[in-house]
Homo-oligomer: A and B are copies of this chain.
Amino acid sequence: MAPIGFVKRSSSDEYERDRSLVSRIVFKNKFAKGLDGIEEWSHIYVIFWMDKILDKEKMLVHPGGGKNMGIFATRAPIHPNPIGLTLVELVKREQNVLWVRGLDAIDDTPVLDIKPYPDWEEGHWIVVTDFRAPQWLMEINK
Protein backbone atom coordinates (compact mmCIF):
# COMPACT_ATOMS: atom_id res chain seq x y z
CA MET A 1 0.00 0.00 0.00
CA ALA A 2 1.53 3.26 -1.16
CA PRO A 3 -0.07 6.63 -1.97
CA ILE A 4 -1.06 7.14 -5.61
CA GLY A 5 -1.14 10.89 -5.00
CA PHE A 6 -1.81 13.64 -2.47
CA VAL A 7 -4.55 16.13 -1.67
CA LYS A 8 -3.53 19.73 -2.28
CA ARG A 9 -5.59 22.57 -0.87
CA SER A 10 -5.12 26.22 -1.79
CA SER A 11 -4.07 26.83 1.81
CA SER A 12 -3.32 24.50 4.66
CA ASP A 13 -5.67 26.70 6.73
CA GLU A 14 -8.68 25.87 4.58
CA TYR A 15 -11.57 24.36 6.50
CA GLU A 16 -11.62 20.93 4.95
CA ARG A 17 -15.17 20.18 6.02
CA ASP A 18 -16.56 22.98 3.86
CA ARG A 19 -17.90 20.81 1.05
CA SER A 20 -18.28 23.74 -1.31
CA LEU A 21 -14.51 24.06 -1.66
CA VAL A 22 -12.53 22.71 -4.58
CA SER A 23 -9.26 20.94 -3.87
CA ARG A 24 -6.84 19.08 -6.07
CA ILE A 25 -5.64 15.51 -6.10
CA VAL A 26 -2.15 15.43 -7.57
CA PHE A 27 -1.34 11.92 -8.78
CA LYS A 28 2.14 10.56 -9.21
CA ASN A 29 3.09 10.97 -12.87
CA LYS A 30 3.28 7.24 -13.48
CA PHE A 31 -0.46 6.98 -12.75
CA ALA A 32 -1.58 9.84 -15.04
CA LYS A 33 -2.47 7.46 -17.88
CA GLY A 34 -4.77 5.58 -15.54
CA LEU A 35 -6.98 8.70 -15.37
CA ASP A 36 -7.82 8.63 -19.09
CA GLY A 37 -11.57 8.83 -19.50
CA ILE A 38 -12.25 9.89 -15.91
CA GLU A 39 -13.60 13.22 -17.26
CA GLU A 40 -16.68 11.34 -18.43
CA TRP A 41 -17.76 10.80 -14.82
CA SER A 42 -19.33 13.61 -12.82
CA HIS A 43 -18.66 12.05 -9.42
CA ILE A 44 -15.96 9.83 -7.96
CA TYR A 45 -15.14 8.23 -4.64
CA VAL A 46 -11.85 9.22 -3.09
CA ILE A 47 -10.24 6.75 -0.69
CA PHE A 48 -7.56 8.34 1.43
CA TRP A 49 -5.35 7.69 4.41
CA MET A 50 -5.94 9.90 7.44
CA ASP A 51 -2.36 9.77 8.57
CA LYS A 52 -2.91 12.29 11.38
CA ILE A 53 -5.35 10.01 13.22
CA LEU A 54 -3.57 8.44 16.15
CA ASP A 55 -6.38 7.05 18.29
CA LYS A 56 -7.05 3.59 16.87
CA GLU A 57 -8.07 1.76 20.02
CA LYS A 58 -11.32 3.47 20.97
CA MET A 59 -14.42 1.45 20.04
CA LEU A 60 -17.23 3.75 21.25
CA VAL A 61 -18.09 7.38 20.60
CA HIS A 62 -20.96 9.66 21.65
CA PRO A 63 -22.25 11.60 18.67
CA GLY A 64 -25.23 13.89 19.03
CA GLY A 65 -26.64 12.93 22.36
CA GLY A 66 -24.78 10.86 24.86
CA LYS A 67 -25.68 7.40 23.59
CA ASN A 68 -22.78 5.00 23.13
CA MET A 69 -22.27 4.22 19.45
CA GLY A 70 -19.71 1.89 17.96
CA ILE A 71 -17.13 3.66 15.84
CA PHE A 72 -18.24 1.67 12.77
CA ALA A 73 -21.81 2.94 13.20
CA THR A 74 -20.67 6.57 12.91
CA ARG A 75 -18.51 8.73 10.69
CA ALA A 76 -15.92 9.05 13.46
CA PRO A 77 -12.49 9.08 11.83
CA ILE A 78 -10.93 7.02 14.61
CA HIS A 79 -11.04 3.61 12.97
CA PRO A 80 -8.45 0.84 13.37
CA ASN A 81 -7.45 1.59 9.78
CA PRO A 82 -7.95 5.35 9.39
CA ILE A 83 -9.28 5.18 5.84
CA GLY A 84 -11.28 8.12 4.56
CA LEU A 85 -14.01 7.67 1.96
CA THR A 86 -15.69 10.65 0.34
CA LEU A 87 -17.96 11.00 -2.65
CA VAL A 88 -16.94 14.16 -4.52
CA GLU A 89 -17.86 16.07 -7.64
CA LEU A 90 -15.23 15.90 -10.36
CA VAL A 91 -14.70 19.41 -11.68
CA LYS A 92 -11.90 18.87 -14.17
CA ARG A 93 -8.79 16.90 -15.00
CA GLU A 94 -5.47 18.08 -16.36
CA GLN A 95 -2.96 15.28 -16.95
CA ASN A 96 -2.17 13.92 -13.48
CA VAL A 97 -4.34 16.39 -11.53
CA LEU A 98 -8.01 16.18 -10.61
CA TRP A 99 -9.97 19.14 -9.30
CA VAL A 100 -12.74 17.93 -6.99
CA ARG A 101 -15.45 19.62 -4.94
CA GLY A 102 -16.34 18.37 -1.48
CA LEU A 103 -13.28 16.43 -0.40
CA ASP A 104 -13.06 16.65 3.40
CA ALA A 105 -9.37 15.80 3.63
CA ILE A 106 -6.65 18.10 4.85
CA ASP A 107 -3.74 19.40 2.80
CA ASP A 108 -1.17 16.72 1.87
CA THR A 109 -3.41 13.77 2.75
CA PRO A 110 -2.18 10.62 0.95
CA VAL A 111 -4.70 9.26 -1.55
CA LEU A 112 -4.90 5.46 -1.89
CA ASP A 113 -7.45 4.96 -4.65
CA ILE A 114 -10.32 6.52 -6.56
CA LYS A 115 -13.39 4.88 -8.08
CA PRO A 116 -16.14 6.11 -10.36
CA TYR A 117 -19.60 6.71 -8.90
CA PRO A 118 -21.95 4.93 -9.00
CA ASP A 119 -21.23 1.22 -9.08
CA TRP A 120 -23.38 -0.87 -11.41
CA GLU A 121 -24.32 -4.45 -12.07
CA GLU A 122 -26.04 -6.23 -14.93
CA GLY A 123 -27.35 -3.14 -16.62
CA HIS A 124 -28.40 -1.03 -13.69
CA TRP A 125 -26.82 1.56 -11.43
CA ILE A 126 -26.43 0.91 -7.73
CA VAL A 127 -27.83 4.14 -6.32
CA VAL A 128 -29.53 3.69 -2.98
CA THR A 129 -32.14 6.31 -2.13
CA ASP A 130 -34.28 4.19 0.16
CA PHE A 131 -32.16 3.76 3.24
CA ARG A 132 -32.58 3.62 7.00
CA ALA A 133 -30.28 5.53 9.35
CA PRO A 134 -30.19 5.90 13.15
CA GLN A 135 -33.19 7.79 14.49
CA TRP A 136 -31.18 10.62 16.09
CA LEU A 137 -29.49 11.29 12.75
CA MET A 138 -32.72 11.01 10.73
CA GLU A 139 -34.14 13.74 12.96
CA ILE A 140 -31.18 16.04 12.27
CA ASN A 141 -31.06 15.35 8.53
CA LYS A 142 -34.75 15.19 7.60
Contact = CB atoms under 8 A, between A and B. Distances in A.
Contacts of A79: 34, 113
A60 B75 CA distance: 34
A33 interface: yes
A114 B83 CA distance: 9
A15 interface: no
Contact of A87 (B17, B43, B126): B126
* Interface size class of chain A, counting residues whose CB lies under 8 Å from the partner chain: 35 or more
Contacts of A72: 31, 34-35, 38, 114-116
Indicate how many identical chains form the complex: 2
Interface string A81-121: 10101110000000000000010000000001111111111
Given A31-B80, A47-B85, A129-B129, 17 more contacts: A1-B1, A31-B72, A34-B70, A36-B69, A36-B70, A37-B67, A41-B73, A42-B131, A43-B128, A74-B116, A80-B113, A83-B112, A85-B113, A87-B126, A102-B126, A117-B128, A127-B131
Interface of A: 1-2, 4, 17, 19, 31, 33-38, 40-43, 45, 47, 59-60, 67-75, 79-81, 83, 85-87, 102, 112-121, 123-129, 131-135, 137, 140-141
